[in-house]
Each structure stands twice: as C-alpha cells, then as structure tokens.
Amino acid sequence: MSNTENSAPLANGPASPDKGIHCVLFDLDGTFADTAPDLVHALNQTLRKHGREPVSMEKIRPYVSHGGAAMVRVAFGSREEIHRQDLLRFYRQDICRRTRLFPGIAELLDELERRDVAWGIVTNKPGWLTEPLVDALGYRQRAGCIVSGDTLATSKPHPEPILHACRLVDRDPRRTIYLGDAQRDMEAGRLAGNLTLAALFGYIGDDDHPESWGADGAINHPRELLNWL
C-alpha cells in the first residue's frame, strides 16, 4: 500500500459511464468528517459531571470511530451506560461546532458529482445523530443515501447496510468503493462485494493494523481515491 500523496490532481477526466466504479460510500466518523473535537468535548463534559479530570484529544482520538461505548471505556475505565448516555446527550447539544470535513473531502465530492459517480454515507452512528450532523455540514441533500447504524436491524461489519445503500442509489455493489478507517468497515465492504479502501488519514491508533484488514488498498488523502475509479 503505497503513499500516493503526490498523485494526479482531481481533474483527471470523466470516468466512462459503461465501466469502472459507479458509486463511492463513506464511513462518517474518521473518514468523511473529523468529528473528534466535538465528541471529545462532550466526553470531557461527561467526565466533569461525574467528578473526573478531562482527557486529551490524543488519548481519545483513536477510539472515536469505535463509538461512545469505547470512548467511555477508555476515559472511565468501565462501560457504564449512564456515562455513555450523558456523552451522547452532551454531544447532540453541540454536534457540529468544531466538526469539519477532512481536508480534500469536499473537493472529492465535487469531482465525483462531476463524473456522475453516486456517493453516500454508511455509518454505525445512530440516525438521530447522523442526520443532524450531515445536515449541519451541508451535505444531507447532496448525499445519494445516508444509512445509519439503526436504519436496519444489522450494522457493520454486517454487509447489509452497504447493500441497502447500493439499492437506494441503484448501483452495483461490485462497482462500488467503500472507504473507512476501521476493520469492520473493510469487513462489511468486502462481504458486500465492494472494492475496499482504508482511510489512513482517519482515526487509526497504534494498536490498529490496517495492513491486516484485508482491504484492497489504502489512501493517505481523499483525492487518492480517484486513482481507484
């Protein structure tokens, strides 16, 4: 998996409508958007409520893609449901104050749309958090589909959320890229028949080993995805 940071610019010419990739699906936290600042802020509000010292961004950032329960476990040393509920409540109150798209995502979306490549989001984040966040970022109307962790009875690493997304945009899963920053993303995409790419710019910690996830490739910057179309 090589670093192609100096790869070709976005305007590589339109993809053929008769072959290649017709759809790109994104994980949300750690892939589409850098949500860690708002989530860590909410976690520290939770810690203060329960008489604990705040934690640093560096400590929690690698766990953000694994959800609120993982963040609570690292910060509190346990997985008490009351702490997770407090975290989510604080997060919903201030869901997009510091969150931004990862650098290059906006330009990538523009180029995908120019090439008539459908795109959407498939996340394990619950819909009551996913939809207001994507709306606040300004992309809810542009996304071809948004599949949240509670849209169906199953979530990643089960492939059904990705297959459901492909049905919503009427695209062949075998001509779809799934981009994510966690092993379960690669497992779900592979089981769905996608081409899978690991987002190395996401929330990957020292204990993660993307080279063992079975992905078809890895990218260090969103624009590198265009090389796979």
For the chain, give the secondary structure using H, E and C: CCCCCCCCCCCCCCCCCCCCCCEEEECCECCCEECHHHHHHHHHHHHHHCCCCCCCHHHHHHHHHHCHHHHHHHHHCCCCHHHHHHHHHHHHHCCCCCCEECCCHHHHHHHHHHCCCEEEEECCCCHHHHHHHHHHHCCCCCCCCEECCCCCCCCCCCCHHHHHHHHHCCCCHHHEEEEECCHHHHHHHHHHCCEEEEECCCCCCCCCCHHHCCCCEEECCHHHHHHHC
Average pLDDT over residues 59-65: 94
The confidence score (pLDDT) of residue 4 equals 35
pLDDT at 9: 33
Q: Which of 18, 29, 34, 216 is catalytic?
A: 29
Residue 6 has pLDDT above 90, yes or no: no
Mean pLDDT computed over 91-97: 97
According to the model, what pLDDT value does residue 19 have? 58
Active-site residue identified among 18, 27, 207, 208: 27
Average pLDDT over the chain, rounded to an integer: 92
pLDDT-derived band of residue 5, with 50, 70 and 90 as boundaries? Answer: very low
* Res 80 pLDDT > 50: yes
Q: What is the pLDDT of residue 79?
A: 85
Q: Is 27 annotated in the active site?
A: yes
pTM: 0.90
Q: What is the mean pLDDT of residues 8-32?
A: 68
pLDDT of residue 28: 98
For the segment 29-54, the average pLDDT, to the nearest whole number, is: 97
pLDDT of residue 172: 98
Q: pLDDT tens for residues 106-165?
A: 999 999 999 999 999 999 999 999 999 999 999 999 999 999 999 999 999 999 999 999
pLDDT, average across residues 75-93: 95
Alpha-carbon 111 to chain mean position: 19
pLDDT at res. 13: 34
Asked if residue 2 has pLDDT above 60, the reply is no
